[in-house]
A and B are shown apart, each in its own frame.
Chain A
Amino acid sequence: MDSRSKRNRLLSWLLPLLAALALPWLFRSNQYNLMLLTTVLLYGVLATAWNIIGGMAGQFDLAAGGYLGLGAYTAGTLLLRWNITPWLGMIAGGIVAVGFAVLVGYPLFRFKVREVWYALSSAALVSVLRVVFLMWENIGGPTERYLPFHQFSLYHLRFGSYIPFYYIMLLFLASALLASAWIRNRKLGYHLLALGDNEDAAEVLGVDARTCKLKALMIYAFIIGAVGGVYACLYGFLHPNFFSSSLSLEVSILGIVGGLGITYGPLLASILLVSARELLRASLGGQLESLYLGIYSIVLILIALFRPQGIASFIRVLAARLRSRPSRSRV
């Protein structure tokens, strides 16, 4: 790569990053907008992680809500019972999520078990977890479990303003993007993409389907579980509704619409769709909650039918036209 395109590449990451770092200052007095930004970043993290299992490995996962909830309850319970800081709780949350993921994935990732069953059982997992935590009075239960409130505590990860949460989420997003890009450009990424495209062909080229899918699943589950810890602190309480099927659905839609296997795709989708959703909710109120899911699903169907490479591919084409020579670099 020549130095000019190297510089361009660097700028294409650096500029948005600087913008993202500066953004909270623009809205420092508007908590609502800050919440919106933080939510966009959150979904960006979830969808970017989803891309690893869904976009690369080709497994339509519907369990994001399950791993998120597990991470939240793990970190939250550790904080409530033993006053362990969520910074450590996050890691524990990630590990618990991974444990569950392996439990689900291991029997299902046998060669020639059809992918639909994975999709369906991951969806089932979320619902099972929700009912389990509803009935498990000791750790869960139907009422909210409140986390200790602090105006500003780095240890407890509680803040009176959304600004610190924004930066934490930004950190998560950067990590998720880095992880995704790192995988994408290496052996694991290529193996996963091959599996997602054509499992039979991939296998005879030496790709170990089960191991690769498990690796992808574990990385994805860890990221979601870890951010679950932040999620709990963001809301300030624990509740079985964290095991949300609609959140899982949304995350998968963002992953697909963004562009399967493209690192920054899900983030793009998240920015566009989640902002649209929040604006819709603000202007139409809670009555038309289902409307945004309806719109999401229409976008999903349209993208799947007419532009399966996702909206990130529009950006690519645009960038290529601007550079006026065929695009060869991959992000």
Chain B
Amino acid sequence: MAIAGGTLARARSAGEESHAVAIVARPDLPVDNLSFAELRRVMLGDRQYWTRNLKVTLLVRAPGAHERDVVLKTIYQMSEAQFRQYWIAKVFRAEATSAPRIVYSNEMATELVAQIPGAVAFVDAAQVPKDLKILKIDGRLPGQPGYPLH
């Protein structure tokens, strides 16, 4: 079930300040929910296709961004140095043609997600535009108990 950005406010409890990080995608992405294990496979570049003809494009915030810190700590469990080396090695092993694309702001992330079929980005859950959808992780949205990215 697709969840648009405007629905997120109702999913969060009133008055809650959230630093949760949301995974956003175009509404036409044929995936609405990922298990955490599956999300990790996508982020590690082990899963590179959503469907046979729709390739995954990863957009990751530049170093220093809170969203990047959350992704590195929670999903990759890597330091900056380990993350760099991981992707250099991944490409060198011919397992991927490129590392995740770096974006420098949430606005840039959401603009590129809207333009690139198959792209996903990690943005502040409070800054998701209405025209993008938020992917659930293990059936949970940002702000719900058990949501892992914060």
A and B bound? no
Give A contacts to B, CB under 8 Å. Answer: none
